[in-house]
Chain A
């Protein structure tokens, strides 16, 4: 903590005094200013001429705090396919996210409005791409908007953080990332900053998000004001650094711009951390425009610091970098970034060394020293690509141990991940080996801890794994750099300093039994120290006299607390939680059963009109239009009366004269000639309007030449039938021709080719006549005219 920095700058923005994470000019309370943003400003870096864009749900470009720095060239609306990224306004304010992120980067300073952005002189744009169907193509387009103009792309979104999703960039997005780092910023590489994930409460792990674990993205996590782990924080090995963000209710929050020209200090998850780093990287690029995408990552590794961030896994790797699965290399330090950047020499080219161990979990590598173009001696990102089959993915834990002995957890157990899909060429990434030597034996540890929900005898199978080492063949830093850090704050700690740290894993002394009863025991006392020694219970007793009873504060799953008798009683068969013993008193159901919310019972299937919601294991109502649905209320499989199924949506059955327009999702008028139709055109008629006759695929007022009017099949209405072949006009079906085409002659009201038959002698014509060939359509041109002319 620092108090009242004497040289601090003051701005007239109303929320400036609340921006504890940037400055400390509040005389009454101490604050954290150790991201050193103001120190970077005081060195003259405010983001001038650096362009940042926010890939999100749009940004409010006319917000008073954004309008000054708004850059239309750094903006695009992918959802609306135009150049205006203004969010879609609705009464629920769904699209606030991008505007909030944008303010954190580049809100104007000293304009008497709201806040001050980290890079308050940077250019800011928005790519509106989350307010619609997101596809691989939408993501790829977003990442490829003006790569030579935009320096930094900030994203605070990703696949679901529900603890059971494993998803990442598709083939186009992967290419877009690769193009960005190869060609963006005129070859220096686009900077992609990514929020690490909000699924802490769901036990999610950011290695299961292929965006934030990509080597091309800078993955940023969050810490609270007091350096605690926020409830939403996901751990993983690809996190590079951390910023402050919202924490518990008694800790201060982050302030930023909000939709409708407002300010907000409402809760922020990791979303705000990405733009904070985007802002700090903007200051850094102002200090040195020639930094490559890898230089920026090196700078973050080198300058971020553990400071007071609390985690029990801080370790020092063999290159001297302190790193944690929660915070990466620690809290970002803006001043250290700009100072280092201003004297930075670009790191040597990236080499990639790929090794596939043969049916072993260890591999001894030289770092591809035999191939100079691939030789990796000093590590940067390490990727492990895994093909693994497993019946319950969430039971897996994966660690990677470097030749230097650094152990990085690539994947932790995920309680909610019951998928049996395993991992199909999934790439795990770790930055924990940064700077270490690649050479030696690497070991992959896969631990399978069967949960009680699966058959423990069925084991998984690690089919293949690939070790992909990224780094340089020569030392990435010039020799003088290591002794050139400012104020000592950039130094990695000496071994002595590390030893002096308090051991956070210090063992606690165990309490010894001294005749006291267990805290769950009631007023009758106990005959031993444990909960099963109680003579009565404060809350509930579980079990029976034969199997011994124990006192518990809450009844376990499958039981409910009977307050009157202080007993845990069993729920009805199939109930996981209940409020009584009856079948209709269930609150949630055991696995494989679903709670019927209408009668509070547990069933194997849901009634018609309901679908099985797997995460809550309950029956939820389908959309009003659906007769039945699957997985989601709007994913219909059959429709109620008056609706018909189009894909998975129930659409109104349109009245006569209209058809259902798939694009506009409305009933749209048919062409005026149609009574019913499948589309707007004249050729889309199914039935004709009154006064029209169907002719081929259209409807006409009167039949065209070559057609005659007659009853349609079934006799319901009239339509135009085609006259016989070669007949220009006719009076009806069959031999009723009135006029023939050129080259044909009318013979017995039939059109016959004018050519005569050379060999139509008497015998031949007799054969034609006796076989009645001229009455058969197929033979009508078969010398008939010649034979008829000859009598």
Chain B
């Protein structure tokens, strides 16, 4: 639960070794869609979960969070909106 006014999105960054197909499998297991590699970061994938609220003040509970405990997943982070200003 955020204590700093963070806003949680329904996008996750996930590190999975074993290639894109393995990432697809892990994503499907928990109801995510794998949207592909994050830029030029190897083994890092962009997962999206359409059944999670697009913006929320809390990191919602639910079966989708089991991905954090999956042995195939080395690291996973729900994406938080970072306020950015044009200068």
Is the Cβ of B84 less than 8 Å from the Cβ of A159?
yes
Is the Cβ of A158 less than 8 Å from the Cβ of B5?
no
Is the Cβ of B54 less than 8 Å from the Cβ of A663?
yes
* Residues on the A chain within 8 Å of B39, using CB: 140-145, 176
Give the shortest distance, in Å, between B37 (CB) and chain A (any CB): 9
* Residues on the A chain within 8 Å of B38, using CB: 137, 140-141, 144, 172
A133, A143, A170: most-surrounded residue (chain B CB, <10 A) = A133
* Residues on the A chain within 8 Å of B81, using CB: 133-135
* Residues on the A chain within 8 Å of B50, using CB: 662-663
Q: Which of A57, A134, A179 contacts B40 (CB 8 A)?
A: A179
Give the shortest distance, in Å, between B5 (CB) and chain A (any CB): 5
Contact with B along A617-642 (1 / 0, CB 8 A): 00000000000001110010000000
A717 at the interface (CB under 8 A from B): no
Contact with B along A639-655 (1 / 0, CB 8 A): 00000001111000000
A97 at the interface (CB under 8 A from B): yes
* Residues on the B chain within 8 Å of A138, using CB: 79
Is the Cβ of A161 less than 8 Å from the Cβ of B85?
yes
Is the Cβ of B82 less than 8 Å from the Cβ of A167?
yes
Q: Give how many B residues have a beta carbon under 8 Å from the other chain's beta carbons.
A: 33
- Bound Cα distance from A161 to B84, whole angstroms: 9
* Residues on the B chain within 8 Å of A662, using CB: 10, 50-54
Q: Which of B11, B54, B83 contacts A160 (CB 8 A)?
A: B83
B65 at the interface (CB under 8 A from A): no
Is the Cβ of B82 less than 8 Å from the Cβ of A170?
yes
Give the shortest distance, in Å, between B56 (CB) and chain A (any CB): 3
A476 at the interface (CB under 8 A from B): no
A658 at the interface (CB under 8 A from B): no
Contacts across chains A and B counted by CB atoms under 8 Å: 117
* Residues on the A chain within 8 Å of B56, using CB: 647-648
A408 at the interface (CB under 8 A from B): no
* Residues on the A chain within 8 Å of B61, using CB: none
Give the shortest distance, in Å, between A17 (CB) and chain B (any CB): 27
- Bound Cα distance from A56 to B79, whole angstroms: 20
B9 at the interface (CB under 8 A from A): yes
Is the Cβ of A179 less than 8 Å from the Cβ of B41?
yes
CB within 8 Å of B: which residues of A?
56-57, 81, 97, 130, 133-145, 147, 156-161, 167, 170-172, 175-176, 179-180, 183, 195, 197-198, 269-271, 630-632, 635, 646-649, 662-663, 665
A-B contact pairs, 26 of them (CB 8 A): A134-B82, A134-B83, A135-B79, A135-B80, A136-B79, A138-B79, A139-B82, A140-B41, A141-B38, A144-B40, A147-B40, A158-B85, A158-B87, A159-B83, A159-B84, A172-B44, A176-B40, A179-B40, A179-B41, A195-B87, A270-B87, A271-B86, A647-B56, A647-B57, A662-B51, A665-B54
CB within 8 Å of A: which residues of B?
5, 7, 9-11, 13, 35, 38-41, 44, 46, 50-58, 60, 77, 79-87
Given contacts A156-B87, A158-B87, A160-B83, 20 further A-B contacts (CB under 8 A): A133-B55, A134-B82, A134-B84, A135-B79, A137-B38, A138-B79, A140-B44, A141-B38, A141-B46, A157-B85, A157-B86, A158-B85, A159-B85, A175-B41, A175-B44, A176-B41, A630-B5, A635-B57, A662-B50, A662-B51
